[in-house]
Amino acid sequence: MRLDLQQVRSFHNAGFIAISQPVIDRRNLAKVRDIYDRMFESRAGRAEGNQFDLAGTDEDDRPAALSQILYPHRYYPEIRGDYVETIHDIAQQLLGPAVTTEIFHAILKPAGIGAPTPWHQDEAYWEPDRQYRSISIWMPLQEVTVDNGCLWFNDGSHEWDVLEHRSIGGDPRVHGLELVDSSVIRDAVPCPLPPGGVTIHRNRTCHYAGPNTTGESRRALVLSASLPDRPYVGTRQFRWNDGKDTRRAQRAAEAGRTDQTGAPKPEAVD
Ligand code: NI
């Protein structure tokens, strides 16, 4: 899929782009959706801390308000398809030929109870001593609208520093982060999409998704495309991550896993 010059310029100026043309055909989308639903029903990756409630305290016996699975292809390798190559091709047009593209996570906003995803920058989750050059490619598996939780972006925010974040609601048991002061958001643009369309945003672009008030779950699959990260020049701290006390991290520690930040780590599929 070729982006035109205006799309590429718009992405670099705004820090995001919405592409309505699907990157996956209907038949393969139905297949991915079926795998996706089985994956969430089985809570794939839970024991390792890779499935958790992003927006809640993540008790075993409570339905998740916003269920996330990191690295879903580790558990369901068949979730990969030709769409990964199509997205890689788009990523190369935006970041250049050296980019590495991989499935990153899946995020399910359940019907009726799906919580909002507060304004945040993805880089706030990652390592403060690294300089990132990455994009997230967000692909809904059904139509997304303002009512079921399409993404919103703040125009131009990819050029901001990483702003002050905290755990959602100020509760360190919650994995998800939110901007402490969301009054900086003044140019919010909603991006409704058809099934299999994509939005693409930079690692510092501020974004948000509303609650799902519809009767159908909102399914999204997120890929990451990155150039190699570099050491961060200067010093900075992400104190909001140091104070976290999540069940997810406990499970990861018990399983002997060290990749607890959720930073993008494109990798070969096992
Ligand atoms: Ni995000």
CATH of the domain at 36: 2.60.120.620
- Please determine, for residue 270, whether its predicted confidence score (pLDDT) is greater than 80: no
Distance CA 220, CA 105 (A): 9
150 CA from centroid of ligand 1 (Å): 12
Question: DSSP 3-state assignment of 219?
Answer: strand
- Please determine, for residue 134, whether its predicted confidence score (pLDDT) is greater than 70: yes
* Cα-based angle 39, 191, 150 (whole degrees, multiple of 5): 35
The neighbourhood of ligand 1, an ion, using CB within 5 A, equals 122
The per-residue pLDDT for range 55-99, each reduced to its tens digit, is 888 888 888 888 999 999 999 999 999 999 999 999 999 999 999
153 CA from centroid of ligand 1 (Å): 10
Give the H or E element holding residue 118: strand 117-120
In a domain, 220, yes or no: yes
pLDDT for 6: 97
In a domain, 115, yes or no: yes
The domain tally of the chain equals: 1
Structural domain for 17, as ranges: 5-250
In a domain, 263, yes or no: no
Q: Which band of pLDDT confidence, cut at 50, 70 and 90, is reported for residue 256?
A: confident
- Please determine, for residue 247, whether its predicted confidence score (pLDDT) is greater than 50: yes
pLDDT for 267: 44
Q: What are phi and psi of 192, to 5 degrees?
A: -65, 150
Distance CA 72, CA 108 (A): 12
Which of 183, 161, 203, 254 has its CA nearest to residue 16? 203
In a domain, 48, yes or no: yes
Cβ(108)–Cβ(219) below 8 Å:
yes
Burial of 98 (0-12, 13-18, 19+ CB in 10 A): exposed
Token digits of residue 215: 């009767």
In a domain, 167, yes or no: yes
In a domain, 100, yes or no: yes
Each as own residue / partner, the long-range contacts of residues 255-258 (CB below 8 Å, 24 or more positions apart, any chain) are 255/47, 255/48, 255/49, 257/48, 257/49
144 CA from centroid of ligand 1 (Å): 16
237 CA from centroid of ligand 1 (Å): 19
pLDDT for 79: 96
pLDDT for 137: 98
In a domain, 51, yes or no: yes
Distance CA 167, CA 134 (A): 23
DSSP code for 2: P
- Please determine, for residue 102, whether its predicted confidence score (pLDDT) is greater than 60: yes
pLDDT for 263: 56
Token digits of residue 180: 């402490």
Q: Indicate the range of 115-119, 159-163, 176-180, 256-260 predicted with least confidence.
A: 256-260
Q: Count the alpha carbons within 13 Å of 36 in the hemisphere toward its beta carbon.
A: 26
pLDDT for 179: 98
The per-residue pLDDT for range 193-230, each reduced to its tens digit, is 999 999 999 999 999 999 999 999 999 999 999 999 99
Distance of CA 172 to the CA centre of its chain: 20
Cβ(118)–Cβ(208) below 8 Å:
yes
pLDDT for 269: 32
208 CA from centroid of ligand 1 (Å): 7
18 CA from centroid of ligand 1 (Å): 15
Average pLDDT over the chain, rounded to an integer: 93
**What proportion of the chain, given as a percentage, has pLDDT over 70?**
95
Q: What are phi and psi of 104, to 5 degrees?
A: -115, -55
120 CA from centroid of ligand 1 (Å): 6
pLDDT for 32: 97
98 CA from centroid of ligand 1 (Å): 23
